[in-house]
Structure 1
Amino acid sequence: MVEKNRKKVCIIHTGGTIGMARTAKGYAPQAGFVKSTLSEIRELNAAEMPKFDLIEYSPLLDSSSISVKEWVKLAKDIEKKYNKYDGFIILHGTDTMAYTASALSFMLEELTKPVILTGSQIPLCEIRNDARDNLITALLIAGNYQIPEVCIYFESRLMRGNRAKKVSTNQLIAFDSPNFPSLADAGVKIVLNDKNIRDPGTGIQMFPIQEHPIAVIRLFPGIQFQLIEKMISSKIKAIVIEAFGSGNIPGKNAAFLKLLKKAQEKGTLILVCTQCLRGAASLGEYEASQELVKAGAVSGLDMTVEAAVTKLFYLFSKGYNMEMIKKLMETNLRGELTEHS
Structure 2
Amino acid sequence: MTLLLIHTGGTIGMSDSPQGLTPEAGLVEATVAALLPAGVRLQTEVFAPLIDSADMGPTGWNRILAAIHAAPGADVIVTHGTDTMAFTGAALAQALAGSGRRVVLCGAMQPLGTGGDAEGNLHLAMGAARSAPAGVWLAFAGELLPAEGLAKIDSHADSAFRALPQAPLPARPPKAAPFGAARVAVLTLSPGLPAALLRAALAELDGAVLRVYGAGTSMNDPAVLAALADAVARGVRLRAVSQCLSGGLAPGAYAAGAGLWAAGIENGGLETTEAALVRLMLDLSA
Q: With structure 2 as the length reference, what TM-score do the two structures score?
A: 0.91
Instruction: Measure, in 2, the Cα distance between the counterparts of 1:228 and 1:267.
Output: 16
The two structures, once aligned, show a CA RMSD in angstroms of: 2.5
User: 1:1-38 deviations in whole A, cap 9, x for unaligned?
Assistant: xxxxxx43211111000000111100011212223444
Instruction: Measure, in 2, the Cα distance between the counterparts of 1:45 and 1:80.
Output: 21
1:136 equivalenced with 2:123 (yes/no) = yes
Q: Which residue of 2 aligns with 1:169?
A: 155
Change (3 A) 1:197 1:243: closer
What is the deviation of 1:156?
Answer: 1.8
What is the deviation of 1:248?
Answer: 0.7
1:116 equivalenced with 2:104 (yes/no) = yes
* Alignment check: 8 A CA contact 1:20 1:125 kept: no
* Alignment check: 8 A CA contact 2:108 2:121 kept: yes
What is the deviation of 1:207?
Answer: 5.3
What is the deviation of 1:315?
Answer: 0.9
User: 1:139-165 deviations in whole A, cap 9, x for unaligned?
Assistant: 0111133x2111112112222211111
1:1-341 counterparts in 2 under 5 A?
7-38=1-32, 44=35, 52-83=42-73, 85=74, 87-126=75-114, 128-145=115-132, 147-179=133-165, 206=176, 208-233=178-203, 236-251=205-220, 253-318=221-286
Instruction: Measure, in 2, the Cα distance between the counterparts of 1:137 and 1:176.
Output: 17
1:101 is paired with a residue whose SS is helix
Instruction: Measure, in 2, the Cα distance between the counterparts of 1:52 and 1:137.
Output: 17
Change (3 A) 1:72 1:267: same
What is the deviation of 1:203?
Answer: 10
Instruction: Measure, in 1, the Cα distance between the counterparts of 2:244 and 2:215.
Output: 8
Read off the aligned partner of 2:198 and give its amino acid letter: I
Instruction: Measure, in 2, the Cα distance between the counterparts of 1:247 and 1:254.
Output: 17
Read off the aligned partner of 2:217 and give its amino acid letter: N
Give the share of equivalent positions with the same residue, in percent. Answer: 29
What is the deviation of 1:131?
Answer: 0.6
1:112 is paired with a residue whose SS is coil
What is the deviation of 1:197?
Answer: 10
Read off the aligned partner of 1:156 and give its amino acid letter: G
Unaligned stretches of 5+ residues in structure 2: none
User: 1:187-241 deviations in whole A, cap 9, x for unaligned?
Assistant: xxxxxxxxx999xx899664522131123211122222222212333x5222211
What is the deviation of 1:301?
Answer: 0.2
Of residues 115-124 and 264-273 in structure 1, the stretch that sits farther from structure 2 once superposed is 264-273
1:53 is paired with a residue whose SS is strand
Unaligned stretches of 5+ residues in structure 1: 1-6, 181-195, 319-341
* Alignment check: 8 A CA contact 2:53 2:82 kept: yes
Read off the aligned partner of 1:24 and give its amino acid letter: P
What is the deviation of 1:316?
Answer: 1.2
What is the deviation of 1:130?
Answer: 0.5
Instruction: Measure, in 2, the Cα distance between the counterparts of 1:72 and 1:9.
Output: 19
Q: Which residue of 2 aligns with 1:338?
A: none
Instruction: Measure, in 2, the Cα distance between the counterparts of 1:174 and 1:307.
Output: 18
Read off the aligned partner of 1:32 and give its amino acid letter: G
* Alignment check: 8 A CA contact 1:98 1:161 kept: yes
User: 1:224-279 deviations in whole A, cap 9, x for unaligned?
Assistant: 2222212333x52222110110011002x132122123213322222110000001
Task: Kindly tell me the number of residue pairs found equivalent between the two proteins.
Answer: 286
* Alignment check: 8 A CA contact 2:112 2:118 kept: yes
Instruction: Measure, in 2, the Cα distance between the counterparts of 1:213 and 1:203.
Output: 22
1:307 is paired with a residue whose SS is helix
Q: With structure 1 as the length reference, what TM-score do the two structures score?
A: 0.77
* Alignment check: 8 A CA contact 2:97 2:135 kept: no
Of residues 64-73 and 99-108 in structure 1, the stretch that sits farther from structure 2 once superposed is 99-108
